[in-house]
Amino acid sequence: MGALSVAIGSEAAGVRSYTATSSQGLLYMAEAVYNASGLNLPIVMTLGNRAIGAPINIWNDHTDAMSVRDAGWLMLFAETNQEAVDLHIQAFKIAEATKSPVMVCVDGFILTHAYERVDIPSQEEVDDYLPPYEPEISLDTKHPQAIGTMVPPEYFTEVRYLAHKRQIDSLGVIECAGKGFKEKFGRESGGLIHKYNTENADTIIVTMGSVAGTIKDVIDELNEKGGKYGVLSIVSYRPFPNEAVKEALRSAKNIIVVEKAFAVGIGGILSQEIELLMKDSNCEIKSVIAGLGGRAITKPMLTEYFLNNAKERTTFLGLKEDIIREEYKPLNCGKCK
Amino acid sequence: MSSSTMGNRLSKENVAFQSEADRPNTLTSGHRACQGCGEALGARCAIDAAFKAANGKIAVVNGTGCLEVFSCVYPNNSWGVPWIHSLFGNTPAVATGVAAAFHNQGKDDVRVIAQGGDGSTTDIGMGCLSGMFDRNDDVLYICYDNQAYMNTGVQRSSATPALARTATTLPVGSYLGNDASSGKNVPEIAVAHKIPYVATASVGNIPDLERKVAKAINIKGAKYVHIHVPCPLGWGFPTSETVRIARLALKCGLFPLFEAENGEVVGSTPIDDVIGVEDYLRAQRRFAHLFGKNATPDAIGILQNIANTNIQKYRLSGGVSDD
Amino acid sequence: MTKPFATVLDASTSLENKTGSWRTMRPEYVKRLPPCNVTCPAGENIQQWLSLVQEGNFYDAWLEMVKNNPFPAIMGRACYHSCEKTCNRGQFDGSVNINLIERTIGDMAISNRWKFECKISESGKKILIIGAGPSGLSAAYFLRKAGYDVTIFEKHSKVGGMMRYGVPKYRLPREIIEAEVKRITDLGVKIVLNKKVENLKEEASNYDAVYVAAGADVAVKTDINVKGNTVVIDAIDLFKKIEDGENIPSLGNRVVVYGGGNTAIDAARTALRLGAKDVKIVYRRTIHNMPAHDTEIQEALAEGIEILCLRTINSIDNDKILLDKMEYNEETSVLSKTGETESICADSVIFAIGQSIRTSMFEGIDGIVISEKGIIEIDDNMMTGANGIFAGGDIVAGKRTITHAIGFGKKASKCIDAFLKGEKFAPNVKHEVANFKKLNTEYFKGNKRVEVSRQGDISFEEKVISYSNEELLEESRRCFSCGNCFHCDNCYSYCPDNAIIKHEDGTLEFNYDYCKGCGICASECPCGAIRMTSNEKE
């Protein structure tokens, strides 16, 4: 709460501002998250993705990010430690170009606490890519303005609609930033999506974040054995790159969405978005909820799932059925008469 | 004219800046505060005083509340200074960020004010406020205390005084309204943080208010000024009585004026002629249940005790103390 | 610079939101009449000249005084200052010492030889005034300034009328009278002394208008039985003898003065100064009913004069004065004898029970009416029943004070001026009075009235009292400025809506575009110069 609020203040005063949070901290600052985007402040924030309690649990999943998916931030998911580094550099450029805050989502522990060799560009290289910040609005005594007015019903819809249009327009900026980054640093990093063998795949696994690496390993093995699998990893979760995703999934007959969060009472969140997007296609879409609260997503679990052709729309990967059998007691609705 | 009026054509001493023709009106006309709003008056006085003392180089962070709502609704902004509203509870933190940014830009001469009502300050933003104090961030926090959540319909805040009626503390039967131990003393909490400067002020004494704000604004570090701003709507008195009610609160000792530096009370404004709390209470409908046929006999005594304690503690009775 | 729609706004754009439309009550600046001005029989603008004194602008203050009264130094001594009785500060911490300020400024004018500033354009018309007392001189002053050729006939050998013959010199030194009258004669007013008018009809024929201000200097006689060799004298005769240097009968050590007015007090104090050791005032009602001014009574008591109330003189038999004890019912105002008597001793008795007018000069003039009370009847324009003959002062009055007389003179001058122009004098419409309830005294600190100690023994010399310049400032600044803005700027400072404009010259104006009508300005106005009215007139 305080941290993002300090960044709101410093950004509003015209200084490039950054903060980081995770899990409960994100929810504690939830109203500031909405506020930063509503005020068009190009703050960059790292979200070390972790579960939300209760029960308290400090390990990785995407429930925290999903809880603020409608808050008006641009949300980029890093697949690797290197991409985490690169996305942060791009994030400032994207934020300042779109006047939107950018959240760089980095899987907790799996990426945040992993030791891995990464290339950290020099200050000069970064400065060259990212010129000094020139804010369009700021708390300036020479040109006093009021930032953060109350907006009455007569104009509120317009303010929100403009924010919506701006976020959709940001897709181009994100794509462009990724291209620019590649030109400058010679690396594919960021952009809207990462495609892996989607061109010839019958089955495409859609996912976000670090688990894409495990999945790629699994399908490499399956494809070696004649499978036709591909992976679509979404970098820009917000704005959601509808056209790019549709294009990537063009050849798929089966889509499996592997995600680390779900909406209690409905199911997978990313899977719903994919279902909506692909509603006019004939492909079958399955939802896999995996890795909740840091549960390991192993190659055997994934391999088994991919090969078994599950019938259920939604599968909780690795669910311990014995515990559920013991603990699940259906509600007796008769009591409510 | 020998008087303590705001201006004085015969003497330029003790003249309130508010009486000067060239005061900046940092909170200008056209705002939507209720008639007779003490907070609108207090805010203009305070921010004008800060503006003058900082040579016009100030920026204001405003918490949610009456002041924010009435001063800045699209398409009308009443502020003549850089101003930002973020949230209800994060004002001190936003101000911290603004101050950090100015420092980063080499603009330490631009002074930062955070301001909010009592709800924003004593309830919702208390955590951020304490944090700002604790870090000794270079911010002057001003609380405009009208002792309840007014723009939402006069609900109790932790600054609502003992026995006051609000929408959420309606006196019923033996329940006398707000609990007798109520009224969180945020100035004292600020003193306990040992920040460089803490002061209380009132729209009932504007020269004193201006002096304190002007002093605070140029002190490095965290400063807190708590201003008593009567609310005609919430307290139940005629709109013309705002300043008088503030003055009565000062004269009876229920709102003590004092200053503290680095954790120690260093001065107070003595009361010339101390009056009983009854004169103050009777003038307001929120205390009407303490009077009349069905009144609880000791109720006024509870408030008188609070006033007496203040008078003794802050040595308000012309410097004479009982101890 | 581009900025986001709606959520970022330029500074002070709310000025387009005219919140004046919220208003149901409307403040307006008013000028209310200060009680001092209201009660001043001479119609002085006391508050105005006090404000000039406050600024240290003593000369302008004097000029302001003499706009309505040519005798500040005299007034500062002989006026009974009803202004101070009604002064709102009296209900706070003691009235402003208006009288002493006036006296000090008046004396300053004399010692600095300040002159009236006026350009006279001659009208060519002639006016006769009978009597060079306060009323006649006052009328002469105003009429001369208005361009008339003014002649005063005075029966005595000296000017001043009752200022000289009714006020002992220890209260009003004669050089003060001379100095202030000289300013009037310097304007070109002619005074003919020792000219007793026996036939007004004849004298009036040479003038365009006449103002009769002949006063009331005939002592009222009683039918008290006097036996033996006790000295019995009327106060007014005693004063005249002293003033004109005539032989005064020896009053002895024990003097009784009969009466309760200021003349009685003056007579008693004069007796002391003539050598009497035991001076008693006999008065029929209670001390609170005495018409004499309270400060006079106090000064008399301080000098050792005894006041015997609820007594009337029944008879005088040598040095035995038989008194009837009286009973007075305050509610019904009925005074009656108790039947008890008391005897006191005196070597002389001074009567001070009233004065009446001399009517013989009016014989042969049609239309002059003498009322049952023994005064000349005049109409609203101060004209008697005879065309062109005006009358004022003690000759027409119930309230016979010098200050009232001066007021009569001023009003008469306006009436005469209007008459000669074929018009009717129309007095200004009076504003509402600024009473104490209209003030907000929170802004006034308790500054006690600046008192000056009265020096000197009991003698015919005046007791020297006056303010230093510092004291003048301090005391004048105690004025509340009741009913009239004194530019304290409270309204401007307190308005939550900045709906008052303060101009560069310090003047204030409501900006009704933004005034929401809360009324704080009126409530915090120290002097009651803002009124809240219903909004209807807009």
Question: Which CATH number goes with the domain that contains B186?
Answer: 3.40.50.970
Shared domain for A173 and A221, answered yes or no, is no
| pLDDT value of position C455 | 62
Compute the nearest-CA separation of B53 from chain C (Å).
18
Contact A189, A94 (CB under 8 A): no
| pLDDT value of position C536 | 62
B90 contacts on A by Cβ (under 8 Å):
1-2, 5, 8, 31-32, 35
Q: Is residue A329 part of a domain?
A: no
B320 pLDDT more than 60: no
Domain residue limits at B305 = 21-313
Flag if A144 and B57 touch (Cβ within 8 Å).
Answer: no
Q: Is residue B117 part of a domain?
A: yes
Q: What are φ and ψ of residue C253, in 5° steps?
A: -80, -30
Q: How many domains does chain A have?
A: 2
SS3 of chain B: CCCCCCCCCCCCCCCCHHHCCCCCCCECCCCCCCCCCHHHHHHHHHHHHHHHHCCCCEEEEECCCHHHHHHEECCEECECCCEEECCCCCHHHHHHHHHHHHHHCCCCCCEEEEEEEHHHHHHHCHHHHHHHHHHCCCEEEEEEECCCECCCCCECCCCCCCCCCCCCCCCECCECCCCCCCCCCHHHHHHHCCCCEEEEEECCCHHHHHHHHHHHHCCCCCEEEEEECCCHHHHCCCHHHHHHHHHHHHHHCCCCCEEEECCEEEEECCCCCCCCHHHHHHCCHHHHHHCCCCCCCCHHHHHHHHHHHHHHHCCCCCCCCCC
Under DSSP, is residue C488 helix (H, G, I), strand (E, B) or coil?
Answer: coil
CA angle B309, B310, B316 (to 5 degrees): 120
Neighbours of C111 (CB within 10 A): 10
Q: Which helix (H) or strand (E) holds C473?
A: helix C469-476
Q: Is residue B279 part of a domain?
A: yes
**Domain-terminating residue out of A125, A155, A185:** A185
ipTM for the predicted complex comes to: 0.96
B189 pLDDT more than 50: yes
- How far is the C-alpha of A71 from the C-alpha of A83, rounded, in Å? 24
| pLDDT value of position C249 | 87
| pLDDT value of position C537 | 58
* Helix B91-104 vs helix B126-135: crossing angle, to nearest 10: 30
Q: Which of C50, C493, C525 to mutate to test the interface with B (most CBs of B within 10 A)?
A: C493
A and B: number of Cβ contacts within 8 A? 130
C526 contacts on B by Cβ (under 8 Å):
3, 5
Under DSSP, is residue C64 helix (H, G, I), strand (E, B) or coil?
Answer: helix
A148 contacts on C by Cβ (under 8 Å):
7-8
Class of domain C126-168+176-216+357-420: alpha beta
CA distances (Å), C500 to each of A242, B19, B35, in order? 59, 11, 15
Q: Is residue A190 part of a domain?
A: no
B110 contacts on A by Cβ (under 8 Å):
141
| pLDDT value of position B2 | 58
Flag if C445 and B78 touch (Cβ within 8 Å).
Answer: no
Compute the nearest-CA separation of C188 from chain B (Å).
39
Q: Is residue B283 part of a domain?
A: yes
| pLDDT value of position C1 | 53
- What's the predicted TM-score (pTM) here? 0.91
User: What is C36-116+441-474's CATH number, 1.10.1240.10, 1.10.760.10, 3.10.20.600, 1.10.1060.10?
Assistant: 1.10.1060.10
- How far is the C-alpha of B4 from the C-alpha of A252, rounded, in Å? 85
Flag if C3 and A137 touch (Cβ within 8 Å).
Answer: yes
Q: Which residues pair with C258 in a beta bridge?
A: C282, C351
Phi-psi sector, B154: left (phi>0), alpha (psi -120 to 50), beta: left
Contact C85, C39 (CB under 8 A): yes
- The sign one gets for the Cα dihedral C437, C441, C446, C449 is negative
- How far is the C-alpha of A43 from the C-alpha of A40, rounded, in Å? 9
- How far is the C-alpha of C170 from the C-alpha of C428, rounded, in Å? 38
Neighbours of chain A (3+ CB pairs under 8 A): B, C
Under DSSP, is residue A257 helix (H, G, I), strand (E, B) or coil?
Answer: strand
In chain C, the residue whose alpha carbon lies closest to the alpha carbon of B21 is C502
B321 pLDDT more than 50: no
Domain residue limits at A297 = 195-323
Instruction: Count each helix (H run) and each strand (E run) in chain A, helices first.
Output: 12, 14
| pLDDT value of position C465 | 83
Flag if C494 and B243 touch (Cβ within 8 Å).
Answer: yes
Neighbours of C424 (CB within 10 A): 10
Rg (CA), chain C: 28
- How far is the C-alpha of C397 from the C-alpha of C405, rounded, in Å? 9
Cα dihedral C51, C55, C58, C62 in deg (nearest 10) = -20
Q: Is residue A328 part of a domain?
A: no
Tabulate helix, strand, coil % of chain A (nearest 5).
40, 20, 40
Flag if B127 and A2 touch (Cβ within 8 Å).
Answer: yes
- How far is the C-alpha of B196 from the C-alpha of B199, rounded, in Å? 10
* pLDDT tens by residue, A91-140: 999 999 999 999 999 999 999 999 999 999 999 999 999 999 999 889 99
Flag if C488 and B79 touch (Cβ within 8 Å).
Answer: no
B244 pLDDT more than 90: yes
Shared domain for A205 and A177, answered yes or no, is no
CA angle A209, A214, A220 (to 5 degrees): 125
Phi-psi sector, C429: left (phi>0), alpha (psi -120 to 50), beta: beta
- How far is the C-alpha of C262 from the C-alpha of C278, rounded, in Å? 19
* Half-sphere exposure of residue A22: CA atoms within 13 angstroms, side-chain side: 14
Partner residue facing B21 (CB), from C22, C54, C502:
C502
Shared domain for A178 and A200, answered yes or no, is no
CA distances (Å), C249 to each of B188, B224, C237, C271, C321, in order? 84, 85, 11, 11, 19
Q: What are φ and ψ of residue A319, in 5° steps?
A: -60, 135
- Domain coordinates in residue numbering, chain C: 13-31+485-537, 36-116+441-474, 126-168+176-216+357-420, 220-355
| pLDDT value of position B322 | 42
Give C537's DSSP letter: G
In chain A, the residue whose alpha carbon lies closest to the alpha carbon of C9 is A146
Q: Is residue A330 part of a domain?
A: no
- The sign one gets for the Cα dihedral B2, B3, B8, B12 is positive
* pLDDT tens by residue, B131-168: 999 999 999 999 999 999 999 999 999 999 999 999 99
Shared domain for A68 and A90, answered yes or no, is yes
A264 pLDDT more than 70: yes
Shared domain for A203 and A287, answered yes or no, is yes
| pLDDT value of position C354 | 87
B195 pLDDT more than 90: yes
| pLDDT value of position B296 | 81
**Domain-terminating residue out of A160, A185, A210:** A185
Shared domain for A169 and A244, answered yes or no, is no
- How far is the C-alpha of C176 from the C-alpha of C106, rounded, in Å? 9
A19 contacts on B by Cβ (under 8 Å):
none
Shared domain for A171 and A220, answered yes or no, is no
- Token pair in block for residue C52: 């000039």
Q: Which of A39, A96, A137, A167 to mutate to test the interface with C (most CBs of C within 10 A)?
A: A137
* pLDDT tens by residue, A219-252: 999 999 999 999 999 999 999 999 999 999 998 9
Q: Which residue has the higher pLDDT, C416 or B4?
A: C416
- Token pair in block for residue B64: 């949610």
Shared domain for A171 and A275, answered yes or no, is no
**Domain-terminating residue out of A156, A185, A214:** A185
Flag if B81 and C15 touch (Cβ within 8 Å).
Answer: no
| pLDDT value of position C333 | 87
Shared domain for A75 and A177, answered yes or no, is yes
Shared domain for A130 and A171, answered yes or no, is yes
Flag if C8 and A144 touch (Cβ within 8 Å).
Answer: no
Q: Is residue B81 part of a domain?
A: yes
Partner residue facing A151 (CB), from C3, C6, C10:
C6
CA C368 to chain centre: 28
Partner residue facing B239 (CB), from C489, C504, C519:
C519
Shared domain for A160 and A50, answered yes or no, is yes
Q: Is residue A109 part of a domain?
A: yes
Compute the nearest-CA separation of B241 from chain C (Å).
6
Under DSSP, is residue C127 helix (H, G, I), strand (E, B) or coil?
Answer: strand
Phi-psi sector, A245: left (phi>0), alpha (psi -120 to 50), beta: alpha
* Half-sphere exposure of residue C99: CA atoms within 13 angstroms, side-chain side: 19
Q: How many residues does chain A have?
A: 337
Q: What is the DSSP string of A117-131?
A: ------HHHHHHHSP
**Nearest of B257, A60, B45 to residue C495 by alpha carbon:** B45
Q: Is residue A101 part of a domain?
A: yes
Q: Over chain C (538 residues), what is each successive 10-residue block's mean pLDDT?
A: 88 96 96 95 95 96 96 94 95 95 97 92 96 96 97 95 92 95 96 94 93 91 86 93 90 94 94 94 93 89 94 92 93 91 94 89 89 90 94 87 94 96 89 94 89 77 87 94 94 97 94 98 96 78
State the average pLDDT over residues A262-276: 96
Q: Is residue A116 part of a domain?
A: yes
Contact C487, C506 (CB under 8 A): yes
Flag if C7 and A151 touch (Cβ within 8 Å).
Answer: yes
- Token pair in block for residue C252: 């002895």
Q: Which amino acid is at B255?
A: F
Query: How do C311-317 and C225-227 pair as beta strands?
Result: parallel
Under DSSP, is residue C320 helix (H, G, I), strand (E, B) or coil?
Answer: strand
Q: What is the CATH number of the domain that holds A136?
A: 3.40.50.970
Fold of C220-355: FAD/NAD(P)-binding domain (3.50.50)
Q: What are φ and ψ of residue C188, in 5° steps?
A: 110, 10
Compute the nearest-CA separation of A145 from chain C (Å).
5
- How far is the C-alpha of A16 from the C-alpha of A12, rounded, in Å? 9
C126-168+176-216+357-420 and C220-355 have identical folds: yes
Q: Where does A278-316 have alpha helices with state H? A: 299-308
* pLDDT tens by residue, A183-225: 999 999 999 999 999 998 999 999 999 999 999 999 999 999 9
Contacts of B130 (CB under 8 A, 6+ apart): B189, B193
Q: Is residue A202 part of a domain?
A: yes
Shared domain for A98 and A146, answered yes or no, is yes
Flag if C6 and A146 touch (Cβ within 8 Å).
Answer: no
Class of domain C13-31+485-537: alpha beta
* pLDDT tens by residue, A7-37: 999 999 999 999 999 999 999 999 999 999 9
